[in-house]
Amino acid sequence: MKLKEEQVSAEYVYNGKIINVRRDKAKVYNGTLADREVVEHPGGVGIALEDEEGRFFMVTQYRYAQEKIMMEYPAGKKEKGEDPLTTAKREIVEETGYEGRDFVYLGSMVPTPAYDTEVIELFYAKTGEFKGQHLDDDESINLSRLTLDEITDKIVSGEINDAKTMGMTFLIKEYKARNEK
């Protein structure tokens, strides 16, 4: 069966600061037209920053769309035309105050593939020099540091349910296991 769908038309219904929303018509496998709603997002990064004691920086902040306080790895939105590593280096200083060093690219994740174009590029790094935190005006976060086992326990208990944090924790554990052999 043919799986690829072909965009026939696109109508922008919202253009915002972070996202755009469009309504498409798409030709599906049997030739009929189907409505598709798409959220266009510039993408972002997630950074697992490990300190010299083997603990990872975690940010706790209120997530308006979820209407709750959430704990997750530091992350941020890519600026237009910005490469993911540049975004990761900028965001980690902004949110933790520390530069990252020895960045390892862990891959990418697609958090909501059914209707959102967002791709999150995932990085693991070690702490570098302290530069000072530079939060955005509308950003308020609490920082903590946890071991991978503590993060895993919070994921398993449901205390952490952020998708990038769940995926990155798995990837970091695998990265460490495979590179310690």
**What tens digit of pLDDT does each residue of 161-173 get?**
999 999 999 999 9
Query: Domain span at residue 29?
Result: 6-40
Distance (Å, whole) CA 178 – CA 76: 28
- Residue 156's H or E segment, with its range, is helix 148-157
Confidence band of 27 (pLDDT split at 50, 70, 90):
very high
Verify that 160 and 105 share a domain, yes or no. yes
Verify that 121 and 57 share a domain, yes or no. yes
Q: Residue 1: inside a domain, yes or no?
A: no
Global pTM reads 0.93
Verify that 19 and 69 share a domain, yes or no. no
Strands 56-63 and 142-146: antiparallel
Verify that 127 and 59 share a domain, yes or no. yes
Verify that 104 and 71 share a domain, yes or no. yes
Percentage of residues in the chain having pLDDT higher than 90: 91
Distance (Å, whole) CA 28 – CA 31: 5
pLDDT per position as a tens digit, 81-99: 999 999 999 999 999 999 9
Q: Residue 159: inside a domain, yes or no?
A: yes
